[in-house]
């Protein structure tokens, strides 16, 4: 549930973008991300890369639209947000702290979290999320720059990418555990 809660600033942003200004939606996303960071700190947990990155992303974009008056469309702002989210995920991979790792470590015993295979599984899952976010960026580009393409196609791509990433996050570790158990049975036989 933790990883999905970390996406709440993006959900709030998406809802508010339809009924308020980009500035309000971006600052609301930033505020929710800051609340998540403070919640982690108050509970003695580590600050998550995704949550901290989200606070910076929404705060910076909110400041930008405040200080640089422009006629950014809803789709233009979405493209900036989704590109920023993709960047956060890719940076987490580049610094060798795949964003899913922090959430996964909270779900398993320390001896499991210390295994190299655990890091490898989380790296693959994080790449899966990066792929989903890349599809979302592509969908935003299609909706923004190819108005002849029906809007529902971009929305369907976005929803499908997110659902696929959630499914993969649950499926892949289970598959790797089953594979490890099978290998252990074969090695012990």
Q: Environment class of residue 132 by beta-carbon count within 10 Å: exposed (0-12), middle (13-18) or buried (19+)?
A: buried
Residue carrying the six token digits 């890369």:
49
pLDDT per position as a tens digit, 30-46? 999 999 999 999 998 88
Res 171: pLDDT: 96
Residue 1 has pLDDT above 90, yes or no: no
The predicted pLDDT at position 182 comes to: 85
Query: Given this model, what pLDDT does residue 185 score?
Result: 54
Taking the domains of the chain in order of start, what are their residue ranges? 107-189
pTM, 2 dp: 0.90
The encoded tokens of residue 103 equal 């959430």
| Residue in the block written with tokens 């210390």 | 114
* Nearest alpha-carbon partner for 101 in 78, 77, 127: 127
């Amino acid at each position: 549930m933790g990883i999905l809660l970390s996406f709440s600033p993006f959900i709030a942003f998406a809802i508010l973008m339809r009924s308020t200004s980009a500035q309000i939606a971006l600052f609301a996303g930033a505020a929710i991300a800051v609340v998540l960071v403070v919640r982690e700190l108050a509970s003695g947990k580590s600050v998550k890369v995704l949550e901290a990155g989200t606070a910076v992303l929404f705060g910076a974009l909110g400041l930008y639209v405040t200080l640089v008056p422009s006629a950014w469309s809803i789709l233009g702002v979405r493209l900036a947000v989704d590109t920023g989210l993709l960047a956060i995920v890719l940076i987490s991979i580049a610094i060798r702290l795949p964003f899913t790792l922090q959430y996964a470590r909270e779900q398993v015993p320390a001896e499991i979290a210390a295994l190299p295979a655990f890091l490898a599984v989380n790296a693959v899952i994080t790449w899966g999320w990066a792929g989903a976010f890349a599809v979302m960026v592509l969908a935003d580009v299609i909706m923004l720059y190819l108005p002849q393409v029906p809007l529902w196609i971009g929305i369907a791509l976005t929803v499908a990418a997110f659902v696929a990433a959630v499914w993969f996050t649950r499926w892949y570790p289970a598959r790797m555990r089953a594979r490890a158990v099978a290998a252990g049975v074969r090695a012990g036989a």
